[in-house]
């Protein structure tokens, strides 16, 4: 139990609300799973039924398979289960990402899931919720993580693409297939050259387009016969595509990676990419701190990321804070958690 007023318990299978009998992003199959967003480490298969934000359904369904039983709630819509009221609110992380708000007899708890404070044209902006207990992620919970303005980053990406294009070198940009890739797509200058996608990205693009998100025209790489197209192209692919078998088709290329982890030079060098673009769908340190403070929560619980450091810092600032252990991607699993 996070505290005695709370309706949430920390269990070996994740956060659980006994009064409402549901788990939030459980890591084992459960009777009912409330899903904050469709990234693989939060949305695992096998549960009897799922509940997610309306905008998340199409993506979640394609990830979990057609047989998964998925109910939806519009943002702000309240579902009453026994004595608790549950609602979902925008988290600004990716399309359909949600914070979970639980009102148990007047005591309000909010589970943030993953969130960001920056503007993102592909999803609804983060809503600040007043609550008693705020359970926040801390993926980038160290003050070294400060994001440059995303519009500057996108300008840098376009400039890099333009230069490669002039030298007839394919620009290959690695980015998480769900969310990050589409956010980048909306900021690309399509007049520079053709935009190509890896299958995993193209599949998500389709869901985004169906949800009414405007993306520039893209072509699926493997469908192309004429390799001359590659010379001026920008290719968006998930990090897992960075293997010889997939990369072989591009003879002259420049590789780049878009992630908050690129803020650290060592991470970029370890991947030996030519460019690291600092672009994240998580909040940076300031975003986390501002959001946590803005909720006016009496108790703060910190999950996945630099929880030890954030909790100590929050305590020094006079907050009541504690760690909630989770099994979402940890600080080292850069690949899974970009």
Contact residues: another protein, CB under 8 A: 142-144, 146, 263-267, 269-270, 272, 274-275, 306, 309, 312-313, 316, 330-332
Angle, helices 150-166/180-187, rounded to nearest 10 degrees: 70
CB of 140 to another protein, least distance (A): 11
The first and second tokens of residue 142, run together, are 């160290």
Give the nearer residue to another protein in terms of CB position, either 95 or 256.
Answer: 256
To another protein, the closest distance from the beta carbon of 72 in angstroms equals 36
User: What span, in angstroms and rounded, lies between the C-alpha atoms of 332 and 261?
Assistant: 10
Closest CA to 98 of 132, 51, 62, 139: 51
| CB closer to another protein out of 21 and 333 | 333
Residue with smaller CB distance to another protein, 228 or 272: 272
226-239 burial, b for 16+ CB within 10 Å, e for fewer?
eeeebbbbbbbbbb
Spatial contact of 54 and 61, defined as CB atoms under 8 Å apart: no
Identity of the residue, 69 or 168, whose beta carbon is nearer to another protein in the bound complex:
168
**Residue 143: CB minimum distance to another protein, A:** 5
Task: Report the nearest approach of another protein to the CB of residue 119 (Å).
Answer: 20
Nearer to another protein among residue 189 and residue 336 (C-beta): 336
Minimum CB separation of residue 302 from another protein in Å reads 14
CB of 332 to another protein, least distance (A): 6
- Nearest residue to 88 via CA among 70, 113, 66: 113
Q: 146 vs 227, which CB is nearer to another protein?
A: 146
Q: Are 255 and 243 in contact (CB under 8 A)?
A: no
C-alpha–C-alpha distance, residues 255 and 243, integer Å: 12
82: burial class by Cβ within 10 Å (0-12, 13-18, 19+)? exposed
Q: Which helix (H) or strand (E) holds 288?
A: helix 285-294
Closer residue to another protein in complex, CB, 19/336: 336
In a 13 Å sphere around the CA of 226, the CA atoms on its Cβ side amount to 7
- In whole angstroms, what is the distance from residue 200 CA to residue 207 CA? 12
Query: Residue 15 Cβ, how far from another protein at the closest point, in Å?
Result: 21
CB of 276 to another protein, least distance (A): 9
Cβ atoms of 37 and 114 closer than 8 Å: yes
Q: Which is nearer to another protein, 231 or 253 (CB)?
A: 253
């Amino acid at each position: 139990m996070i505290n005695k007023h709370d309706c949430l318990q920390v269990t070996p299978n994740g956060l659980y609300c006994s009064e409402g009998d549901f788990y939030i992003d459980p890591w084992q199959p459960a009777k009912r799973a409330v899903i904050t967003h469709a990234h693989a480490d939060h949305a695992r298969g096998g549960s009897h039924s799922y509940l997610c934000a309306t905008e998340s359904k199409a993506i979640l369904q394609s990830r979990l398979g057609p047989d998964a039983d998925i109910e939806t709630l519009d943002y702000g819509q309240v579902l009453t289960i026994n004595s608790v009221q549950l609602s979902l609110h925008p988290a600004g992380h990716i399309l359909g990402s949600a914070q979970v708000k639980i009102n148990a007899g007047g005591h309000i708890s909010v589970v943030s899931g993953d969130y960001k404070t920056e503007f993102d044209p592909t999803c609804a902006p983060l809503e600040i919720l007043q609550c008693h207990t705020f359970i926040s992620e801390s993926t980038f919970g160290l003050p070294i993580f400060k994001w440059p303005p995303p519009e500057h980053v996108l300008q840098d990406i376009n400039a890099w693409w333009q230069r490669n294009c002039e030298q007839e070198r394919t620009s290959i940009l690695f980015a998480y297939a769900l969310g990050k890739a589409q956010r980048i797509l909306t900021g690309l200058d399509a007049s520079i050259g053709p935009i190509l996608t890896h299958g995993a990205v193209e599949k998500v693009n389709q869901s985004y387009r169906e949800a009414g998100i405007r993306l520039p025209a893209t072509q699926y790489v493997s469908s192309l016969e004429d390799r001359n197209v590659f010379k001026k192209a920008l290719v968006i692919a998930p990090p897992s595509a960075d293997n010889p078998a997939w990369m072989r088709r591009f003879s002259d290329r420049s590789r780049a990676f878009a992630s908050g982890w690129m803020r650290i030079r060592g991470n970029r060098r370890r991947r030996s990419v030519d460019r690291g673009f600092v672009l994240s769908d998580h909040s940076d340190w300031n975003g986390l701190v501002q959001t946590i403070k803005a909720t006016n929560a009496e108790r703060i619980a910190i999950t996945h990321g630099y929880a030890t450091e954030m909790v100590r810092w929050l305590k020094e600032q006079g907050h009541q804070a504690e760690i909630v252990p989770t099994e979402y991607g940890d600080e080292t699993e850069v690949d899974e958690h970009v």
